[in-house]
Amino acid sequence: MANKDTRLSVDTLLVHDQRHSKGAVAPPIYQTSLFTFDSYQAMVDRFRGDTEQAVYSRIDNPTVSVLLEKMCQLEGGEKALAFSSGIAAISNAILGLVKAGDRIVCVRHCYPDTYRLLQLICARFGVTTQFVDGTDLKEIEHALPGAKLLYLESPTTQLFEEQDLNRIATLARAADVITVIDNSWATPIFQKPIESGIDLVVHSASKYISGHSDTVAGLLVGTGALIDKLTSETTPYLGAKLSAQEAALLLRGLRTLPLRLQRHQTSALVIAKRLRNTLP
């Protein structure tokens, strides 16, 4: 799925996209539920998995696919999925990877609805969660053996506690635990968890990736093997797909993501310095 053209910088990749029909600079919005085939054989080939033509927009849509390619390029992942909200991306990732009797290790102070998903829904299906201090490597190392999944959020919501992703990914690999991180706050402009060895990255794209406060959306990027497991066992049956219209809005947002994040950083630093100067 990922565009292999690594000669272009991320900024350029986000702005340029020259493969659209009739020379369109922005990807066409495929506002359709179903897709037809040129021949019966083309349909057979698609259902055999020999081609990738879109079939039905709950499963795949060409506008959404352009967004997924760009997210793979940005995060350095092999495959990606798009959802109708950030919490849909999170719930699909978690519910798709655990089963009754499993234990999840999760950093404290994660996004509150992620906490509720773990405590209300996962618990109802016999999946327990152990919350740990994400800044304490010893506590994480201790909690990992026997766990199925380690859920990270760095920085965490509101308290902005950070985790050492390189060292945590190494610990999790050694314990055979799948790692998932919510990267909504840092975005791939400031943090690329997959390069640190994390397996799956989730986003509330409703925030910085959209950038215009006009979309609620979620994204999931990761290894081909894990995304394939989710698409074959879970995501089509939970049905929380992203619409083509909203994918187009996110693609527009991505064009300015690096610029906006730089500006956020500059402004935040000005405020932080002013606040520091007001301290006694």
CB of 254 to ligand PLP, least distance (A): 16
Q: Does 184 bind ligand PLP (CB under 6 A)?
A: yes
Q: Does 190 bind ligand PLP (CB under 6 A)?
A: no
What Rg do the C-alpha atoms of the chain give, in angstroms?
20
Q: Does 218 bind ligand PLP (CB under 6 A)?
A: yes
Residue of minimal CB distance from ligand PLP? 86
Cβ closer to ligand PLP: 2 or 104?
Answer: 104
Residue 185 DSSP SS3: coil
Write the DSSP assignment of 264-280 as a string of letters.
HHHHHHHHHHHHHHH--
| Pairing mode of beta strands 103-107, 128-132 | parallel
Q: How far is the C-alpha of 112 from the C-alpha of 106, rounded, in Å?
A: 12
Omega before 155 within 30 of 0, i.e. cis: yes
CB of 241 to ligand PLP, least distance (A): 14
Cβ closer to ligand PLP: 30 or 151?
Answer: 151
Q: How far is the C-alpha of 177 from the C-alpha of 132, rounded, in Å?
A: 15
Q: Does 92 bind ligand PLP (CB under 6 A)?
A: no
Among residue numbers 106 through 165, which ones bind ligand PLP (CB under 6 A)? Answer: 111, 113, 157
Closest CA to 140 of 165, 110, 114: 165
* 41-49, 85-93, 123-131, 228-236 -> range binding ligand PLP (CB under 6 A): 85-93
Cβ closer to ligand PLP: 62 or 131?
Answer: 131
Q: Does 182 bind ligand PLP (CB under 6 A)?
A: yes
The three-point CA angle 11-62-95 to 5° equals 90
Residue 167 tokens read as 């060292």
Q: Does 71 bind ligand PLP (CB under 6 A)?
A: no
Residues in contact with ligand PLP by CB under 6 A are: 85-87, 111, 113, 157, 182, 184-185, 204, 206, 216, 218
